[in-house]
Amino acid sequence: MYPGEEEAKKLICEIGRKMYERQMVAANDGNIGIKIGNKEVMVTPTGVSKGDLKPEMLIKVDLDGNILEGAHKPTSEMYMHLNIYKHNPEVISTCHAHPVFCSAFAAAGIVPDLSTAPAPIMILGKMPVVPFACPGTMELANSVIPYAKDYNGVLLANHGPLTWGKTAMGAWFALEEAENYCRSCILLKYVMKEIRPISGEQLKVLEKNIFPLNDKCKMTAPDQTTNLSEGRLLSEIEGNAVHLSDACINKLADRIIQRISKSN
């Protein structure tokens, strides 16, 4: 059921490389986890480009975040990944990155929820938007807990997607599918402004024959969909500014200073 340690390391490096090659990450963005036992997870290190990961850089941790093996410091989003494993024992892998189209939905606070093609329905389902929390905090780590059981991924508001899966590659497939889906949603809704979603009846056939999603995760059927013939213009969507606390701003400032002083 669980991949072995070496296999997990190899898979994480492979997923990291794909993330980088598909321009889903910049600088040292993104993090990946793969569960290798009931209470053990392999995670990516902090401060490393996902295109440059090497097996020896990866860190073995327990579900409470204690380091079991590895010389590097784990990703600052480790607890966010661990919370998914803790609150859904069926999950084997987790992926977080900052791909442009998913991140645009996350920043707009819009849930991409239209049944426009079978693949996102089968692989992904609905991705709710999780309220904003500062990166690297326990507030962000805990914000994903309510979604761990019922969904295959979420959009972290003003940040990016986090996906998970029941196989070692499952989370990566969900992430790749999410980005593809968000890109096509933007094209359909804001460029072509014409959407013909899969009907409620067709959705039932898909669910019955291929991939039964739980109710919360289901995409929107046409009879529940409004404004089908014309998408809203981006300029019509009113943005609400995110309020960052002083503590959050100070933490971000510290990190930027640390990063600058490391690179000098």
CA–CA separation, 202 and 215 (whole Å): 16
Tokens for 200, please give them: 């409620």
Residue 113 burial class via C-beta count within 10 angstroms: exposed 0-12, middle 13-18, buried 19 and up:
middle
CA–CA separation, 124 and 74 (whole Å): 27
CA–CA separation, 80 and 144 (whole Å): 7
Kindly list the catalytic residues: 77
**Which residue from 142, 181, 147 is spatially nearest to 164, judged by alpha carbons?**
147
Tokens for 103, please give them: 């991140």
What is the full DSSP assignment across 192-205? Answer: I----PPPHHHHHH
Strand partners, 153: 163
What single-letter amino acid sits at 27?
A: A
Residue 9: Cβ within 10 Å count: 21
Under DSSP, the state recorded for 188 is I
With left for phi above 0 and alpha for psi between -120 and 50, is residue 205 left, alpha or beta?
Answer: alpha
